[in-house]
Structure 1
Amino acid sequence: MAHLPTCLDDFEKHAWKVLPPAHFGYYYSGADAETTLARNKAAYDRLLIRPKILVDVSRVTTETTILGQKISTPICVAPTAFQGMAHEDGEKATARACAFAKTVYCMATYSNTSIEDAYKAAQAASKDGDPMHWFQLYVETDRDGTKKLVQRAEKAGYKALVITVDRPRLGRRLADLRNAFKLPRHLTLANFIDPNFIDPNALNRTGAGAYAGGAIDASLSWSDIAWFKSITRLPILIKGVFRSDDARLAVEHGVDGIIVSNHGGRQLDGCPATVS
């Protein structure tokens, strides 16, 4: 009987065996020389644990509160695009798992499952039918389309809006270039098949990748935070903060939270590790 994966390394090795090289490369790789990706991994090796002894640990909990709501653990699932390449249920499977575990799942803009379908899947798996899930937003040059995405997420039941701010341009990922990465024919950008956003016929294998790579608004600035606050009642977090002065600016502009992130080393190579 084959052994089931028991840790992240096991899942990674299994993925390498079963996924097409282009799909595994998309998930696994970082930008350029992947120095930031390597730093992210190495940083954890430098963290030390010094446990206290003779402390009653017969009853412990990892529960915490975020944005005023209780979750089972401070370990949450970050937004990841194109999950349909790894599992037939794609983002629905991840949404269900996080809802069952009572922790946050951040749904990606560039997903193979729609905003609504992923949240419905999470509701079905949640014990109280009210999962603590967030929606990650890439800000498009088409602000009307961006506004519609935000409104859809709020209507569906998502609890926060996470605006990615560290991707004015798509990172130069050598694995994707070498593998000529494209979405498989049966997958598309599910949140954009509405004709109000883009012609569904344009989202073929090459069209989806081109759209995801070229539609981001590179003019995004601090002044836009006020606009987002005007179009939604959801708490707003910005993802991709690295500098203390930017963190202070986030507070000054009324942001509800920040996520320290270097995009998994997939955007700008040469950044320090997130845990540093």
Structure 2
Amino acid sequence: MTPSRPSWAGPRRGGWQAELAARAREVLPAPMWAYLEAGAREGVTRDEATEAWRAVRLWPRVLGGHGEPDLTTQVLGAALRTPIGVAPTSMQRVVHPDGELAMAAGAAAAGALHVVSTNAGHPFAAIGDAARAVDPDAVWWVQAYLPPDREAAAPVLRAAADAGARAVALTVDTPFPGTKYEPADDAWVGHDLSWHRSNFADPTAERHHRGLRAHDLAWITETCGLPTVVKGVLRADDARRCADAGAAGVWVSNHGGRQLDRTVSTAAALPRVVEAVGDDVEVYVDGGVRSGLDALTALALGARAVLVGRPTVHALAVDGAAGVRALLDLLGLELVEALELAGCRRPEDARTVGAPPDL
């Protein structure tokens, strides 16, 4: 059965994304909206992200006789009903009372990968339970920073593994948080943030390691038994080094334009990373994906899965778990249309339309 379109998903070209964001802004506290939408420094990288996908041109196939596409795929061996998933974001309990519990339920209902922030405001066990209550086979990962005292992260990683996480997405582009001009610290006065980083014994402890090295990847897997995906890779040589160090996947990301400003877009970085690692590891991407056509473009450039950040938070704010599912379902419907028009049967077929054919 085709899911019904949510009220914010009008038929106008590009209209639903703006409508969803506008509705989210109406219901979110002002500092949360400022936090969510902020980019580092001048916001150049943030602002270029979406247009970078639009600038890519595709080479559709014909006469394949495939019929309606099938979105099912696998990520690290786990079955998903869609290659479009939920990127990790903080402060979700400011967005909605159920925070990550609602995000987990919405992603599970859509059959999508959900990546949970290490800063989550709910215990990992509760997040895992929320996902499994909707789908016993729900797939989720935990995003993590490795602190200077990496042993302090060990209980957190093990708790995520015990709760059912399938992988650790180690974020490597954040030796410290990049400068953002909004919101000001005093804008949060009156907002209870005591639940922030609820899975840490000491939520105020230093989160970021300025001296990460490739050998830290093996420590994570040895500590919690989960495969490690390296998130925050833009360079081909770094991607190759991650693969050689034992990473199970490489996640092309510029942190939503929230770290170093004026970095290359993920759309531009993705093809070089894919070429560098070949079939040795899986490659994922986020950054500026706002439509099923953007997702097709990312798949065409070699991504195995496509993660969406800010729009999932907008959907959470507007309608909780139902909003998250509606967003993912809508993106999936758009991707189905785009795949069929491109002459592709499955997400992995999209690679054949991402590069000029031999003429």
TM-score where L is the length of structure 1: 0.86
How many positions carry a matched residue from both structures? 257
Query: Any residues of structure 2 matched to 1:1-276 within 5 Å, and which?
Result: 4-6=7-9, 7-53=16-62, 55-126=64-135, 129-177=136-184, 180-181=187-188, 184-185=191-192, 187-192=194-199, 197-198=201-202, 211=204, 214-276=206-268
Q: For the residues of structure 1 that align with 2:66 and 2:119, how far apart are their CA atoms?
A: 42
Unaligned runs of 5+ in 2: 1-5, 10-15, 269-359
Q: What is the match of residue 207 of structure 1?
A: none
Runs (4 or more) in structure 1 with deviation over 3 Å come to 48-59, 177-183
Q: For the residues of structure 1 that align with 2:84 and 2:223, how far apart are their CA atoms?
A: 29
Q: What is the match of residue 307 of structure 2?
A: none
- Cα offset for 1:190? 4.4
Deviates more, 1:229-238 or 1:147-156: 229-238
Amino acid at match of 1:135: V
Contact 1:84–1:187 (CA<8 Å) still a contact in 2?
Answer: no
Question: What SS does the aligned partner of 2:231 have?
Answer: strand
Deviates more, 1:151-160 or 1:171-180: 171-180
Contact 1:116–1:156 (CA<8 Å) still a contact in 2?
Answer: yes
RMSD (Å) for aligned C-alpha atoms: 2.1
Question: What SS does the aligned partner of 2:230 have?
Answer: strand
Provide Cα deviations, 1:226-259, integer angstroms capped at 9, x if missing partner.
2223212211101001111101101111111110
Question: What SS does the aligned partner of 2:170 have?
Answer: strand
- Relative contact order, CA 8 A, sep 6+: which one is greater? 2
- Cα offset for 1:131? 1.1
CA 1:61–1:248: 2 relative to 1, 3 Å: same
Contact 1:39–1:272 (CA<8 Å) still a contact in 2?
Answer: no
CA 1:137–1:183: 2 relative to 1, 3 Å: farther
Q: For the residues of structure 2 that align with 1:189 and 1:141, how far apart are their CA atoms?
A: 20
Provide Cα deviations, 1:66-118, integer angstroms capped at 9, x if missing partner.
10122111111110011111111111111011111111000001112221111
Q: For the residues of structure 1 that align with 2:261 and 2:111, how far apart are their CA atoms?
A: 34
CA 1:187–1:56: 2 relative to 1, 3 Å: farther
Q: Percent identical across equivalent pairs?
A: 30
Unaligned runs of 5+ in 1: 204-210
Contact 1:241–1:258 (CA<8 Å) still a contact in 2?
Answer: yes
Q: For the residues of structure 1 that align with 2:217 and 2:231, how far apart are their CA atoms?
A: 13
Q: For the residues of structure 1 that align with 2:126 and 2:153, how far apart are their CA atoms?
A: 19
TM-score where L is the length of structure 2: 0.67
Contact 2:156–2:199 (CA<8 Å) still a contact in 1?
Answer: no
Deviates more, 1:256-265 or 1:96-105: 96-105
